[in-house]
Structure 1
C-alpha cells in the first residue's frame, strides 16, 4: 500500500467546471434520498410510485421557472447529447415531410459549436438520407456569428443550430438579435440553441422566444452525470428518439432517472432562491473573474485573453501565453494541483483549438489556448485557494526560466548538459556547461525561440554559438532572429552561414568540445557536430542526414546520393555503435538513434557503407522513397519506419511498494519537466524507501550520454499521466533497456 497523502501535497484546485462539476451537497443528498428512501417508479400506481411521480412533476415545474418556459414541453433526458440528437432528428424529419432535401437544403451550425452538433447533423443527414448540405456559419474575431453571412444562408436552411454560450471561450450569442434575423428571413426554419453552458450563468426567457429546441445538461451545473432535459416549443415538430413504455407522456420512453431528476430539483431550488443561495450573483462572478485574472497575470505577465467582455459569461477565462503550447501550461498547472483544460485535446501534435481557428486568431493563440472555468457556486474560500495556488507557481516559472521578469537574477543553476526541445517533429538543442555557463544552441526553430531566449537570459548563459546543421528546406532559419532577441545581433567571432565561427577547428563550451564534420548528401552544405568531453565522444548532431528510424530524403535540389554514402562512411569512422545520433526531425517520437539502430532499421545500410557503392537495389529504394515523399500531403525531410511497439511492464500505483520490496535497487525516474517537478514533488506520493532520480524527457539523451542511466538498471518511469513515461520506456526498450517499468496513470493516480 502507498503512504497516505503527505502534508507536503497540495490540495486540488478544480478550475475546469465547463467540462464537468462536482455534485453539490444538497443535490447529492437528494440523490441518496431518492435511491434509498423515495425510490419508487413514477409509473407505479401505489403510494411509493405516486411520491416519485410528484417529485418528477415538481422538478419539471421548477425547470420551467428556471428557464422561463411557461409553455412547451420539458422532457427529461440522459444529458445534452441525447437532447441534441432528439432535436436534430425531429427537425430533419420535419424538413423531409415538407419536401426539403438535397444539396440545396442547408443544415446550419455555428462554426464554434460543440462538436456534438455538427457531427450529429452529419450523422442523421446521412441516416435519414436527406442529402442536405451541412454548413458552418462563420464567426468574427470575438466569436460572434456573422449576421451578414447568416442572412445569405438562411433562405435555404431547414435547420439552424446555435449556442447560448460557448464551452471553450464563454462567448455568448445575442439570442434576441439572432431571433429577429432568423424569423425575418426564414420564419419556418427549425432553431436549436445549445443552452448547456448558459444555465446559472446568464438569464433565460425561453417562452418569450421562438427557439424550437433547447438542450440542457445536469453535470455542467453541479448535478450528477447522466441527467439533463430538453425544452421543445409548443407546436414544434417532435419525434420521440427512444420508444418503449411511453414515459414522459410518450416523449421519451424508459424509466425516468429519478435520483438524477431529484438532484436537478435541488439545483433548481437553489437557483430560484432570492437570498441564501449557494449560487453567486452575476456581479460577484465578475469580481471572481477579475481576481483570478490578476493572479494569472502575475504568473504570466504576457498573457493574452482569447475572449473578453462584453462578449462573454464571467465564469470562463480563455487565454494564451506567447511561447507556450497548451500542454506546457497544463503540465505546470497539473503539477501544482490546479486542474484546467486546453482549447482542444492535447497530443504530441500542437493541434490547436478549432474554436479559436474559426475566430481567425493567430496559430500560437490556438495552439496555446488554456481554458480556466469556475462554477457559479464557487465560494469566496475556493476563490482564495485558487488564486493562492496560481501565485505559488510564480517562483516556479521564474526559477525554471519559463518567463522572465525585471527582477530576474542569474543565480538560477543552469540545466546541465544537453537539453532536447521539441515542437511537433522539429528538434532544437541547448548544450550547457554548468561550471562555466557556456552554451551552444543547435538547430533553433521559430516556435521554440522564446523558450530558448528565456533559458539563456534567465540562467545567465554565455552563448558561444548558434549553429545549424544545414539550411533547412521545410522552415526558414531563425538563427539571426534568436541572436537579435538575445541582444546579440552578431557573436564576437565572424561566422559562416550555419553559425560556425570562422577559423575555428573546434568549439569549446566549458568542459565540452564540438568538432565539425562536413556531411553533405541530404543537403550540399550539411554539417554534423561531434560532441566530446575529455576526448570521449558523447554524441553527434547529424541534422537530417540520419533520422530516428530512417534517413533523410535525397531527391531535393542539391542532394547527392554518392555524397550521402561518403558522409555515412565519415561518420562511421568516428562513432561507436551506441553513440547517440541527434537529428533535426523526429517523425516517430523516438527522440534519437544510434549507429547500431540505424543499421538495424534501414535494410542494407551497413553493406552500403562498407562497399561505398550505390547498388541497383539501393537506387530503387531511393526512387521509391522519393515517390512516396512527393505524394505525401505534408512535407517531410525523410522517410521513417514507424514502430507501434509498446512497453510491456506496466505497474499500477498499488504495486509500487511490492515492486520496491522485491527489487531494492529499483530507481524511480521522474521524466516530468523541471517546472513540473518543482511545482509538485513526487517523493511525498511514494513509499518512504523509494529513491527518485529527476531526468526530464527533454534530458533523456543526456542521462544516457552521461551514464546516469544504463541498461543494467531496474527503472520505474513516472510522469503526470503515464503517457510520457510510456514514451520514455519505449525509447529505452529500443536501446536495450530490458528492466524498465512504466507507472500506469502516472502522478494523476498517485495523488
Structure 2
C-alpha cells in the first residue's frame, strides 16, 4: 500500500457554487443516518417498523404542503427535479394527444433560458409519444425576464407552457403572477410547468393559490442529499406515472421510497418553517451578503459587469463578466485560491459562451466570460466574511500578473521575459519580451486578446517595437490596428506592421528576420527568430499548421506560390526548428519541419520539387472539405489520437516523487500558481518547475526543458497537464507522467 501523501499547509475551501449543489445540512445528515440505522422501515410494510416509516414519510409530505402553500393537489416524492420534469411533460403530452391536439400546429413552449432538462425532455417525449407538436422557445428580454409580448403572440396555439421561477445561471426571478394572468387570459386550458428548483428557500411559493399545473423540486439544491426531490401536481391536472410497479406513492410513483432522503427533506422543511431563529437567513440578510460579496469582487475586478441584477434576481446568485477575461481565466484563478465558483457554461479547450446570456442578447464577451457565484440561504456571517476575505486577497495576484490595468508601479511587477503563446479558440497570438531591454513585439494578435496585451505592455512598462501580422487576406487586422493606436506606435509600418526603415528587428538578444512566403494569401511573411545568433523558431502564419498546411482557395491564395514558399522557408530551417502557426486546430501548440513532413506525407516530395499533380489534387480536395465546414478554417488538420501518456494516480504519487531527478512541472498559469502554490498539495521536498501552458514552448526554446528529463506534469484538473504532456511527447520527450485528476484530487 502506498504511503499517504504528506502535504504542507492545507488550503481550506470556500464553496460558492450552491446553485450546482449544496452541502447537506447537519440536521438533515443526522436525520439520514438515523433513518438508515434506526428508523429504516419500509413504508409499505404493515408491521410497526413500517408504520412508523410511513408516518414519517407522510409528515414530510405535510410539511411540504405547508411550505409551498399547497393544501390541495399532490406532493409526490421523486429522485430529483429531472424525474419531476419528465413526469410532468409525459403527463401533459399524453393529455394533449388525447384531446386530439397532436401535430405541428400545436405549440410546446419553453423559456429560452430554461435549464436544458426542460427543452430536452420536450424534444424526447414529443417524438417518442408521437405528439409531433412544434417546440418553440419564448424569447427573453435583456433583463432575463420572459418577453410577454412575444409570449402573447405564441399562446393561442400553445398546449403546454414551461417556465421557471428562478434561473440557475443568472438568478433572474420570473414574474409568475404576470405570466399566470397572461396565460390564463389567452389560453386558459394550456398546461403550465414551472421549474421551482432554484426557488425553494429563496422566494415565497403559494402554489395552491396559482394555476401552476406542475412544479418540480430538487433536494440537493437546498442542503439535502442527491437523489431525492418532489413534484407538486395541481388538483385536476392530468397525471401519468413515469415509473410503475408496486404502487407506492398512492400509485403515482412506484418504487420503494427513498426514506433517508425524505427524512433529510423533513429536517430542511422544519428549519424553513421555523418562526423563530433559524439556520436559514431572511431575504434582507441574503441581500446584505450579496452586497458584501460584490464589494469584494470589485476590489479584484474594478471593471466587473453584472449580467443580471436587482430588482430582477434572487439575492443568492451573482452572475458577472470582466472585460478582457474569459470565464476559464477567473475560474482557474479562484480555484487555485480554494474558492469554488462556476462558469456560465461548461469550460473546454474552446472558447464557449452561455446560452442563457446569449438568449438575453448580451455581448459575446459577456457570454464567454460569464461567472456564476452562488451562495445558499443558510450561509452564515462568518462564512460570508471568510469568502470576502479570500476573494479580496486575489486583488494583489491580479495586479501582479497584469490581468487588469492598474496604476501599480511597473517596477514592482515581476519582469516577464521570452516568448508567450496566447490562444483564443483555435487562434494563436504571440508576445516576445526581452526583460533586459524592456522591449516587446506582438505577433498575430486577435481582437478578444487586445486588452490583455495592452495590460501586459503597460503594466510591465515595456516599449513596443512592433505589432506584426504574418499574413493578411482582404482587410487589415483590426486587432493590430487597435493595438498600434492604443500603444502609440508612431513609426511608419507596412501593411503587416513591419517598420519600413528596418530589414530586421533587434529585441535585446533576440533578432527577428522576415521572409516572404505567399501562397495562403498574397501578402504573407514568415518571421525567423534568432536568439544569441542561433535560429530558434519561425512564426509561419498559416503556411504550415501543426498537422497540416494552409488552404489556397481563398482570395489571394495560390497553390504554386505556396509550394515555392514552402521550399524557400525550409531552406532556412533545421529539422527541429520550432514552427509557430497562427492557428492550431488540434491543440498541438507547435510543430517542427521534421514533424510536418511526418504528418503530411505529400510535403516531402513537394519540397523535392515532384508530385505536383498529386499536390494539386490534394489541395482541391482539401478546399472542398473546408468550403463545406460549418465554421471558417484556414487549413485542414486531421485530428488523430495522441500517444498515451503514463498516468499516475494520487495514491501512487509518493512513490513517483521518490524517483531521482524527477521534476514536477506545474503548467498552471502564473496567477493560479500565485493564488494556490503546490506546497498546499505536494511534499515541500519536491522540486517544482513552474512552466504555464502559455510558456511551455518557450521553456523548450530556451533549453529549460530537455527531452531526457523525467517530468511529472500537474495542473488543476489533469486536463492541461495531459495536453502539455502530449505537446512534449511530440517534441521528443519520453519520460512523462501526468497527475490524473490534477491537484483537485489532492485538496
In 2, Cα distance between equivalents of 1:727 and 1:48: 56
Q: Is the 8 A contact 1:413 1:434 kept in 2?
A: no
Q: What SS is found at the alignment partner of 1:120?
A: helix
1:514 alignment partner, one of 512, 515, 518: 512
Aligned position for 1:644: 641
Aligned position for 2:700: 704
1:504 alignment partner, one of 502, 505, 515: 502
Query: Cα deviations across residues 549-606 of structure 1 (Å, max 9, x unaligned)?
Result: 0110111222222222222222212111011000111111111110001101111211
2:675 alignment partner, one of 669, 672, 679: 679
**Residue 483 (1) aligns with residue 481 (2):** no
Aligned position for 1:255: 256
**Residue 666 (1) aligns with residue 666 (2):** no
Q: Is the 8 A contact 1:729 1:741 kept in 2?
A: yes
Q: Is the 8 A contact 1:666 1:715 kept in 2?
A: yes
In 2, Cα distance between equivalents of 1:474 and 1:339: 43
Q: What SS is found at the alignment partner of 1:144?
A: coil
Aligned position for 1:242: 243
**Residue 623 (1) aligns with residue 625 (2):** no
After TM superposition, give the deviation of residue 646 of structure 1 in Å.
4.6
In 1, Cα distance between equivalents of 2:346 and 2:199: 23
Q: What SS is found at the alignment partner of 1:107?
A: strand
Summarize the Cα distance change of 1:473–1:5 in structure 2 as closer, same or farther, 3 Å threshold: farther
Q: Is the 8 A contact 1:142 1:311 kept in 2?
A: yes
Q: What SS is found at the alignment partner of 2:299?
A: helix
Query: Cα deviations across residues 320-346 of structure 1 (Å, max 9, x unaligned)?
Result: 001111111100110011000011101
Query: Cα deviations across residues 583-634 of structure 1 (Å, max 9, x unaligned)?
Result: 11111111111000110111121121122x5621111111111111111121
Query: Cα deviations across residues 278-329 of structure 1 (Å, max 9, x unaligned)?
Result: 0000000000000000000110000000000100000000000011111111
Q: Is the 8 A contact 1:512 1:532 kept in 2?
A: yes
Q: Is the 8 A contact 2:526 2:540 kept in 1?
A: yes
**Residue 380 (1) aligns with residue 381 (2):** yes
Q: Is the 8 A contact 2:474 2:555 kept in 1?
A: no
Q: Is the 8 A contact 1:410 1:458 kept in 2?
A: no
Q: What SS is found at the alignment partner of 2:571?
A: helix
In 1, Cα distance between equivalents of 2:473 and 2:738: 36
Consecutive aligned runs of 4 or more in structure 1 exceeding 6 Å deviation: none
In 1, Cα distance between equivalents of 2:473 and 2:198: 46
Q: Is the 8 A contact 2:426 2:583 kept in 1?
A: yes
In 2, Cα distance between equivalents of 1:473 and 1:645: 36
Query: Cα deviations across residues 462-513 of structure 1 (Å, max 9, x unaligned)?
Result: 1111111111469843212012222x0x33x321111111121221111111
In 2, Cα distance between equivalents of 1:334 and 1:645: 28
In 2, Cα distance between equivalents of 1:53 and 1:6: 50
Aligned position for 1:738: 734
Q: What SS is found at the alignment partner of 1:645?
A: coil
In 2, Cα distance between equivalents of 1:96 and 1:520: 63
Q: What SS is found at the alignment partner of 1:160?
A: strand
In 1, Cα distance between equivalents of 2:407 and 2:620: 55
1:6 alignment partner, one of 5, 8, 19: 8
Unaligned runs of 5+ in 2: none
After TM superposition, give the deviation of residue 520 of structure 1 in Å.
1.2
In the superposition, the TM-score normalised over structure 2's length comes to 0.98
Q: Is the 8 A contact 2:418 2:433 kept in 1?
A: yes
Q: Is the 8 A contact 1:647 1:729 kept in 2?
A: no
Equivalent pairs, count: 745
After TM superposition, give the deviation of residue 109 of structure 1 in Å.
0.4
Of 472-481 and 175-184, more deviation after overlay is shown by 472-481
Q: Is the 8 A contact 1:647 1:742 kept in 2?
A: no
Alignment of 1:224-623 (within 5 A): 224-472=225-473, 476-486=477-487, 488=488, 490-491=489-490, 493-611=491-609, 613=610, 615-623=612-620
Summarize the Cα distance change of 1:473–1:244 in structure 2 as closer, same or farther, 3 Å threshold: farther
In 1, Cα distance between equivalents of 2:681 and 2:662: 16
Q: What SS is found at the alignment partner of 1:31?
A: helix
After TM superposition, give the deviation of residue 275 of structure 1 in Å.
1.4
**Residue 726 (1) aligns with residue 728 (2):** no
In 2, Cα distance between equivalents of 1:241 and 1:425: 44
In 2, Cα distance between equivalents of 1:389 and 1:425: 34
**Residue 106 (1) aligns with residue 107 (2):** yes
After TM superposition, give the deviation of residue 3 of structure 1 in Å.
3.6
Aligned Cα RMSD in Å?
A: 1.2
In 2, Cα distance between equivalents of 1:502 and 1:24: 69
In the superposition, the TM-score normalised over structure 1's length comes to 0.98
After TM superposition, give the deviation of residue 683 of structure 1 in Å.
2.7
In 1, Cα distance between equivalents of 2:680 and 2:362: 42
Query: Cα deviations across residues 211-231 of structure 1 (Å, max 9, x unaligned)?
Result: 000000000000000000000
In 1, Cα distance between equivalents of 2:299 and 2:457: 22
In 2, Cα distance between equivalents of 1:276 and 1:468: 65
Unaligned runs of 5+ in 1: none
Q: What SS is found at the alignment partner of 1:151?
A: helix
Q: What SS is found at the alignment partner of 1:496?
A: coil
Q: Is the 8 A contact 1:442 1:469 kept in 2?
A: yes
Summarize the Cα distance change of 1:480–1:252 in structure 2 as closer, same or farther, 3 Å threshold: same
Alignment of 1:215-230 (within 5 A): 215-230=216-231
Q: What SS is found at the alignment partner of 1:322?
A: coil
Of 294-303 and 407-416, more deviation after overlay is shown by 407-416
In 1, Cα distance between equivalents of 2:535 and 2:392: 44
Query: Cα deviations across residues 234-282 of structure 1 (Å, max 9, x unaligned)?
Result: 1111111110111111111111100000000000000001112000000
In 1, Cα distance between equivalents of 2:573 and 2:501: 25
Of 405-414 and 681-690, more deviation after overlay is shown by 405-414
Q: Is the 8 A contact 1:2 1:686 kept in 2?
A: no
Q: Is the 8 A contact 2:6 2:682 kept in 1?
A: no
Aligned position for 2:160: 159
In 1, Cα distance between equivalents of 2:272 and 2:426: 49
Query: Cα deviations across residues 114-171 of structure 1 (Å, max 9, x unaligned)?
Result: 0000000000000100010111000000011111111111111111100000000000
Q: What SS is found at the alignment partner of 1:219?
A: coil
Aligned position for 1:692: 688
